[in-house]
Chain A
Amino acid sequence: MYLYDQIDQQLVDERVRQFRGQTERFLAGQLSEDDFRPLRLQNGLYIQRYAPMLRLAVPYGLLASRQLRAFAYIARKWDRGYGHFSTRQNMQFNWPRVQDVPDILAYLAEHQMHAIQTSGNCIRNTTTDHFAGIAPDEIVDPLVWCEIIRQWSTFHPEFAYLPRKFKIAVSGSAQDRAATQVHDIGLQATRDANGAIGFRVLAGGGLGRTPMLGVVMRDFLPWQDLLGYLDAILRVYNRYGRRDNKFRARIKILVKELTPDVFRDRVEEEWTHLQGGSATLTTEEVQRIERRFTRPAYAKCDSVSSAYVLALARDKAFASWVGRNVHAHKMQGYSAVTLSLKRTGVPPGDVTADQMDAIADLADAYSFGELRVTHEQNLILADVRQADLYELWKKAKALGLATPNIGLLTNIIACPGGDFCSLANAKSLPVAAAIQRRFDDLDYVHDIGELDLNISGCMNSCGHHHIGHIGILGVDKQGAEYYQISIGGAQGNDAALGKVLGPSVSQAEVPDVIERLIEFYLGQREQDEERFIDVVRRVGIAPFKEYVYGSHQGPASRQRQLAAA
């Protein structure tokens, strides 16, 4: 965990005081709704369909057990006893009262947390690999770089009123687990020919209604130049990004309209003035930030625990959980564990206050009191001894957190959708639940293999449907809720945007379409290792479409015809 120093704490406290004053003026009628809106958004407060929604920051997804207990306290005292982890690695509460928000923020500040810039047209929470700091393939620890960026972006005076929201993702490894290609800026740690550390810089990626992959700004930017170069990109965007149409205001549109080459030239021109300036990072500063992170005191472990091997052999359910939910660790004898928040019947990412307390206990007992929130809306215990895995599994199972479905079809990513969000065209959660119910046979789900299924309730794409192997998008069709299905999307190094399969379908038909897609895939795959996405890439979308819709009519009507014949 990064521990605040006295200035970090003072700034967060001053923010609470500032927002308390603003809220009081708003409630007293001295600040209009329009004038208050950007202020409350930059403190995470939305006015939603049924009630306000408060989004609390979990910087780069890292959370201490005491902070999770603070969330539980907030859930009980000011909300309805539960919270929701979002795809931005943040925590959302759906039922706070506006007048209580300053008190909630003050309580958060006591636990070195805040809701700063979790919404609004500013630089948002920087996200990263949920295996940051423990991945065996790491070039740099992205947590340190995320904290450096967090400090740079927090209350950045020049970039608080951008044309639109701005999201940065950092990957510290060769394998990109931070979706850097679909962020406004993506940073990928790399080395140059001499072994010096720097970043490959991408800009202009994003999802939403105009999904685009980021274009390369620099193949190698020395780490010392990082903040100055970010200033240069943001300044060009702030000055020239479109402000006339909020749907054309993201940086990706500017990159596209100027062309990547012209955009890059403008940034480089700006950079010539900023290069070598006082924002140039120093080794001392990077080391200072590094030292403020507490690190687990790993025990020296045997490479293989015999109790663990025995449990694997004896208990098939445990072995299946290990296969899906336990991940490699750079330290011998340790593993990372995903606690699944994707149990059938529970909205993805939802967690009750009692579960939060119980998970905090697990983190204290098995993982040095720390957790990570993933953009797939699960939680990770990052530093678990192999010898403890069996015991942890039994406890997690009792809490309903051991569904062995990580990477599988039922590990659905979904935004809160029309049940909560005022932007949504359609509901997401009932669709997720219907699919989970349809595929409730775990053996079958394992047999299907790796499959990312992502659901967004509208074009804003909070559920990342474009990069799901199967993506589902809620659309409005003459006032009715319909769903457009796409396939072929992917995250990671071979990131791709999915292509629409065909006409949108009703809510009731969605599980049928998914089932047809899976049937066709299983018939086509040449070996068990060939994933759904691999088959889509090999055979293309057309045969899937043909199988689901038929040449001229839907599968259901064709089956009826066959039955009648």
Chain B
Amino acid sequence: MAVIKDRQVVSDNWRLLKSPAETSSITDGADVVVPAEFWSLHSESLLARSGKSGVWLDSHHDPATIAGDLPRLDLVAINFPQFTDGRGYSIARLLRERYGWRGELRAIGDVLRDQIFYLSRCGFNSFQLRDGEDAQSAVSALDDFSEGYQTSVERPQPLFRRRVDGSTLNS
């Protein structure tokens, strides 16, 4: 399927398994993203396969629950049940800034081009858009703004620490 990854539209082989029922079809070689509950019960057998393993969190999940497993994962996804549910933005920052996740962080669910700029600032580097959305035209939204005032995953130093007019710290 087509996703935006590191600012490119690519097609990849990750299979997103939305419910535990779908997990019965997992094959040895498939790259699968499983629900967090399923992962907590079956991580050993998933990792014993030759395919890659990823986990998706829903917006009410606490990322602390998978923090210890991050070194064993190839992908973490965060679901947006509606794009107006902003909890995933905080979850992403926690995964990146507190739990040290450096791998692929994917936004899934109700993901639209008009939100991906903020999502990327919070640490998402891949986006599986809502069905029917055009990934190619959405990429440009990553450049909607050239700067941001705050600390963010993309730019950990806030603007006031990065100014070059000599009036701020050099940190």
Contact = CB atoms under 8 A, between A and B. Distances in A.
A162 B85 CA distance: 7
A152 B144 contact: no
Contacts of B98: 273
A99 interface: no
B156 interface: yes
Contacts of A163: 86
B86 A161 contact: yes
Interface residues of B, number: 38
Interface of A: 7, 10-11, 14-15, 17-18, 22, 31, 35, 38-39, 121, 151-152, 154-163, 227, 231, 235, 238-239, 243, 273, 277-279, 281-282, 284-285, 287-288
Interface string B139-166: 0000011111111100011111101000
Q: Tell which of A22, A154, A238, A239 has the most Cβ of chain B within 10 Å.
A: A239
Interface of B: 83-87, 89-91, 93, 98, 112, 114-115, 117-119, 121-122, 144-152, 156-161, 163, 167-169, 171
A152 B86 contact: no
A284 B118 contact: no
Q: Tell which of A159, A231, A278 has the most Cβ of chain B within 10 Å.
A: A278
Nearest to B145: A14
B84 to A, nearest CB: 5
Nearest to B156: A278
A10 B159 CA distance: 14
A199 B87 CA distance: 28
* 6 pairs of A and B residues whose beta carbons are closest in the complex: A161-B86, A157-B121, A157-B118, A285-B160, A151-B149, A158-B89
A7 B167 contact: no
Contacts of A231: 151
B158 A38 contact: no
A15 B156 CA distance: 22
Given A157-B152, A160-B118, A278-B158, A239 B87 contact: yes
Contact of B83 (A18, A161, A273, A288): A161
Dominant SS at the A interface? helix
A392 to B, nearest CB: 38
A14 B122 contact: no
Contact of B144 (A18, A159, A235): A18
B87 A157 contact: no
B116 to A, nearest CB: 11
A27 to B, nearest CB: 15
B64 to A, nearest CB: 11
Q: Tell which of A121, A154, A161, A162 has the most Cβ of chain B within 10 Å.
A: A161
Given A279-B158, A282-B168, A288-B168, A238 B87 contact: yes
A277 B89 contact: no
Contacts of B149: 11, 151-152, 154-156
B89 A161 contact: yes
Given A161-B85, A238-B90, 18 more contacts: A10-B147, A17-B144, A18-B144, A35-B112, A38-B84, A121-B86, A155-B118, A155-B149, A157-B89, A157-B119, A158-B122, A161-B83, A161-B115, A278-B151, A278-B161, A279-B158, A281-B160, A288-B160
Nearest to A287: B167
Contacts of A227: 158
Nearest to A291: B167
7 contacts: A35-B114, A152-B150, A158-B118, A161-B89, A238-B86, A238-B89, A284-B168
A390 to B, nearest CB: 44
Contacts of A285: 160, 168
B169 A284 contact: yes
Given A38-B84, A238-B87, A279 B150 contact: yes
B122 A157 contact: yes
A243 B85 contact: yes
Nearest to B110: A35
A273 B64 CA distance: 14
Nearest to B153: A157
Given A278-B151, A284-B168, A285-B168, A161 B114 contact: no
Contacts of A10: 146-147
B145 A284 contact: no
A249 to B, nearest CB: 11
Nearest to B141: A18
Contacts of A154: 149
Contacts of B85: 161, 243
Contacts of A39: 114
B114 to A, nearest CB: 6
Contact of A235 (B90, B146, B163, B168): B90
B157 A278 contact: yes
B145 A11 contact: yes
A155 B145 contact: yes
Given A161-B86, A239-B87, A288-B168, A155 B148 contact: yes
